[in-house]
A and B are shown apart, each in its own frame.
Chain A
Amino acid sequence: MTVIGTIEKKGFGFGTWALVTDDGTTYELKDPVSELQQEGLKVEVKGKIRKDIMTIAMIGAVLEVESYIVL
């Protein structure tokens, strides 16, 4: 699946990287590379939802990034 949104750091635990779409849907990024760890970055991410993963942040579906384009 492809998601377009903005990178945000959510304050749960020591901080969790999220991808928030324009309609407000929040995805928790699974182990994002350092380039994606920038607040306010607008990106298009191709990846898959990991339904088999639970997290301490619990902010939304876990998105495992396969590739991305910085917009």
Chain B
Amino acid sequence: MAGIAYEASIMPLKVLASSGGGTVADIAEAIKFAADNGANVINMSLGGGGASSMMEEAIKYAHNKGVVIVAAAGNEGRNSASYPARYPDVISVAATNPAGDKASYSNFGAGVDISAPGGSAEGKGDSGKIIQNTINPATGESVFVGFPGTSMAAPHVSGVAALIRSTGVDTPDEIRDILLQSARKVEEDHLNHFGSGHLDANAAVQLALKGKITFNDFFRWLRKSGYLNLGFWIDGGAVALLPKLAMVLGSYLLAWFLRNYLPVTLGLNSGLILGSSGLFFLQGLYWFDLPQWPMRLFGSSLPELGNVVFGNANLNPLFASALIPFILVALLLNSNLKWFAIGSSIGVAACLGVSAFADPGIWLLGSGAIARSYLIVNAMLCLGLAYIASQKAPQRV
């Protein structure tokens, strides 16, 4: 059994007696303690009593220290969240039953920010409730039991807050905004049963990652694109490694840009690889008694096809241009492979752009300013082509 943010570390602070109640003074003290000792998210599956300046001050203190604070809206089935959920710096969580409707006991209305699974006692046995590992206060033993309640809904939100925090978003207000914005909206919610809607962990993390270049994201992309294998690192030395790396990086950045700002789908990555660098490590592979040109073929990017296959170091101006991407896009725009064509176009743009600066040698055009301008102009043409084609191909696959 795994929880939502199962790699998060838990800082358990006991504020309630075995009877299930505790004083505001103890709870406020624990909030300050958590904030002073590095907590990133505070979950409070508790509530009741009245407004308290001591509690409000502790919450403000933790919030100002960058802590996300989540609390249960309460189980009175009434219109308004309980304290501490209703303090403005606290994310107040209502509970849904297994069908996604408001759980009968859940508070709603004023102060509810979002809803999450709280389970329902009306289900048979534990099936409708939220299973958890806890301590039975009567015996002191560790037990797995199902409980219903907004107390169970709140930690779902705290877990997703931790996931968002792990993407590098670190202010409580930003994390709150991401949680609320990414929630699945509920139509016809006149009584505010659900706040911003149903908690959506996947959408929240996607939204948090949007616009972020992260180490994890880059490596995920490398692995998906086939760049993360031993052959790459060993045989890569046989060809010009630095410009190739620049091409990989260039196409990653373009792919990242596209993924965030354009509708993107499968096929794009393989097009990017073919267009930018090919499976270039193959170029350095030699096999006894076998012709090497097939390796050079598969190891070539589109712009290199005109020369590498024939063992020539200078680019062929016909291949190292917007011509092939243009033909690909024209042929494939209305087929399933259009994203492959768009990816190729961007990849070629990356390849030509890097070649323009690293090694602008072209057959017939030399390696000076003319060749350089030729490559840059064609790189721009390829980018423009990819952009126009992506606008004309709105469906996702």
Contact = CB atoms under 8 A, between A and B. Distances in A.
Interface residues of B, number: 34
A42 to B, nearest CB: 22
A55 B26 CA distance: 12
A22 B75 CA distance: 19
A36 interface: no
Nearest to A25: B76
Contact of B75 (A31, A50, A54, A59): A59
Interface of A: 11-14, 16, 26, 28, 30-31, 50-62
A18 B65 CA distance: 38
A58 B21 contact: no
Interface string B208-219: 000000000000
B232 interface: no
Interface in B37-86: 45-50, 52, 72, 74-76, 82-84
Interface of B: 16, 19-25, 27, 45-50, 52, 72, 74-76, 82-84, 105, 121, 136-138, 145, 147-151
B151 A61 contact: no
A59 B84 CA distance: 14
A54 B48 contact: yes
A54 B76 contact: no
Contact of B74 (A11, A16, A53, A58): A58
The majority secondary structure among interface residues of chain B is: loop
A58 B24 contact: no
B72 A54 contact: no
Query: Which 4 A-B pairs rank lowest in CB-CB distance, beginning with the nearest?
Result: A51-B50, A55-B21, A58-B74, A56-B20
Contacts of A59: 75-76, 105
A4 to B, nearest CB: 20
A54 B24 CA distance: 7
Nearest to A10: B75
A53 B24 contact: yes
A52 B151 contact: no
A16 B48 CA distance: 14
A50 B149 CA distance: 22
A58 B149 contact: yes
A3 B379 CA distance: 81
Nearest to B75: A58
Given A52-B23, A53-B22, A54-B84, A62 B49 contact: yes
Contacts of A12: 75, 105, 147-149, 151
A55 B137 contact: no
A52 B74 contact: no
A37 B232 CA distance: 71
B14 to A, nearest CB: 12
Given A12-B148, A12-B149, A14-B137, A56 B46 contact: yes
B46 A54 contact: yes
Contact of B48 (A11, A13, A14, A58): A58
B91 to A, nearest CB: 16
A8 to B, nearest CB: 13
